[in-house]
Amino acid sequence: MATATGTIRHFRHIGRCIALAWLAATAPRATSADGVAAPSAVPTHLTVGSELDFPPFALVKGDGTADGFTAELWDAVARHAGLASTVQTAPFGVLLERFKNGQVDVLINLAKSPEREQFAAFTVPHVTMHGAVFVPRRSSRVLSVQEGRSW
């Protein structure tokens, strides 16, 4: 069983990883004429994207502000790391495009995939999910995994 201290340490570790990953992913890659990397400026404010409806991770309150597990986690991490941020809520596809074109600095609920690793740096996962398909036991329509693959 996890202790409160262990849980706090875990979230602090996640916070550091999020901050470091964001800084590494967004740092300018400029070089001087002699090929030496130029120092990069650290931004003072982050624009964060959160989905509209992916409970319990992402929800929107009646006043339009982000809510849910990842919004609360981001708030705690940002507070701990001293990061100023504004959380935007929008449909996932809109947020992903904004992230890709630089209008959003951080997505707080993005599953890792080889395709997404081409444009995003990922922190350590804060949750691991194992999805499944459910059918009634009495169903005669699906008898095996192989049959399900033919759909």
Please give the model's pTM, rounded to 2 decimal places.
0.62
Q: Specify if 116 maps to a domain.
A: yes
pLDDT in tens, the chain (151 residues): 445 555 555 555 555 555 555 554 444 444 445 554 444 566 679 999 999 999 999 999 999 999 999 999 999 999 998 999 999 999 999 999 999 999 999 999 888 999 999 999 998 888 888 887 777 777 666 666 666 665 5
Asked, for residue 134, whether it belongs to a domain, the answer is: yes
Residue 34 maps to a domain: no
Asked, for residue 140, whether it belongs to a domain, the answer is yes
What CATH code is carried by the domain that includes residue 94?
Answer: 3.40.190.10
How many structural domains is the chain composed of? 1
Cα–Cα distance measured from residue 15 to residue 9, given in angstroms and rounded to the nearest whole number:
10
Q: Which domain holds residue 98?
A: 4-28+42-149
Residue 120 Cα distances to 106, 113, 139, 142, 148, angstroms: 9, 10, 41, 38, 32
Q: Is 111 inside any structural domain?
A: yes
- Within-domain flag for 132: yes
